[in-house]
Each structure stands twice: as structure tokens, then as C-alpha cells.
Amino acid sequence: MVKSVASFFAILAAFLICSTSYGEDSATAKDKKHPIYSLKVKSLAGAEVDLSKYKGNVLLIVNTASFCGATKQYANLESLHEKYNKQGLKVMGFPCNQFGKQEPKSAKEIQEFCQKNFGVQFDMFEKILVNKNKNGEKGKTQSPLYEYLTSKEAFKADSGEIRWNFEKFLISRDGKVISRFRTSIKPDAPEVIKAIETELQKPAPKKETPAAQPEKKEEVSAKDKK
């Protein structure tokens, strides 16, 4: 009888440990698997940035360049940032030199250029490849973020490679690609503003809380049972 009681409490203790572990893990499981929030990128300053920090916000992700006819769109993007940032819009710029080699600058030069000419305050990230490496540049591969954004899985209505600088992806608060705007559609175009405001009006998804943990009971030893 004593052995049976001891075995019962041993099993109960193991169950409580498993339950606690599950509660801690379940809250972050979706982020670990999410094609955007599970990724890490580097800022223009070289710091690692976990994209899960943007969860619950509306994102406008843009590939940028300093010497493009569309470079003046930096000003429009900064205006969006100033107007909607507090409402939850996060503009994210990713420099790229794949189109006409129009972004040859270093990270420091890009930062200085953006701030001096356009007063950019929104988040800027390190230079990346937004399309597959077709020129065989050593050590360079397509950004996992853009591998997803350009996929049919992300946005079947308009999938495929980036065609030029300053293409824009609008991401909802729950991490889904809602719209894709090509270079010719400026950030302040009516359709872009409407799409942004529509997404901002939607509530942020509720944060998942760890599963309730069963009340822990003290194990009764065989000696105490006697």
C-alpha cells in the first residue's frame, strides 16, 4: 500500500513538471514557427533585431536604395511614420543593391544619407538581397524574410521576385501579408493610405497566456504515511 501511494505521488510530480513546461512553451510556440516573427535580422547599426518585437503592429516593409528615381519616396515613408507610428504602424527599410547597383553605400553612409536628406527616423536595417543571388556574389544569399514575402504562401495574389527598388509589403497586426505595392505606387497614394488605416483600425491579437498550473501538492513520504 505504501509503495502504491509513493508511486502515485511520483507520477503526480512528473505531471506537474510537464504541465509547467507546456504552459511556458505554448505562449511562444506560434512565434517560433511564424515566417516573419521567428526571424532575426540586423539593424543598420549592426545590432541583432528579433522580428517578434513587432508582433501586434502593422508593418510596411520596403526595399530601399539611395540612387534611384524613387529614392524621394523616403520622404513619403517618413511622413507615414510620423503620422501613424503611435497608432501602431512600423515602417521598415531594407537597403538593397540588386537593382541597377543603386545602393552601393556602406551602412554608415546609408544612415547619414537618409537622415541628412529625408530626416528618416523609422527603422532601417542592413543591406540585403531581396531576390535570389543570380550574380554569384560570394557569401550572399536571399534574405529569409524576402524569401517568404515574395512566395505564394505569403501573398498568392501577387507573388514573385521584387522587380525594382521601393516595393512595399503591408503586414497585418497578426502577421499576414495584406497588400503588395509596386515601385510606381507611392507610399502616400490613396490606396496605400486606405489599406494602412484599415489595418490600424483592427485590434491587436490578444496575447496568449500560459496554461493555468494545477495546485502543487506536497509529496507524502512513506515514513509520514505510517
74 close to 120: Cβ distance less than 8 angstroms: yes
Reported as a single tens digit per residue, the pLDDT across 183-204 is: 999 999 999 999 999 999 999 8
Query: How confident is the model at residue 160, as a pLDDT?
Result: 96
From 18, 68, 96, 114, active-site residue: 68
Rounded Cα–Cα distance for residues 61 and 77 (Å): 10
The C-alpha cell at 155 is 501573398
Reported as a single tens digit per residue, the pLDDT across 71-112 is: 999 999 999 999 999 999 999 999 999 999 999 999 999 999
Residue 96 appears among annotated catalytic residues: no
Query: How confident is the model at residue 217, as a pLDDT?
Result: 58
188 close to 76: Cβ distance less than 8 angstroms: yes
Query: How confident is the model at residue 198, as a pLDDT?
Result: 98
* Low-confidence residues in the chain, pLDDT < 50: 5, 8-9, 12, 15-24, 26-27
Q: How far is CA 123 from the centre of its chain?
A: 12
Strand 177-181 and strand 89-95: the pairing is unpaired
CB atoms within 10 A of CB 38: 17
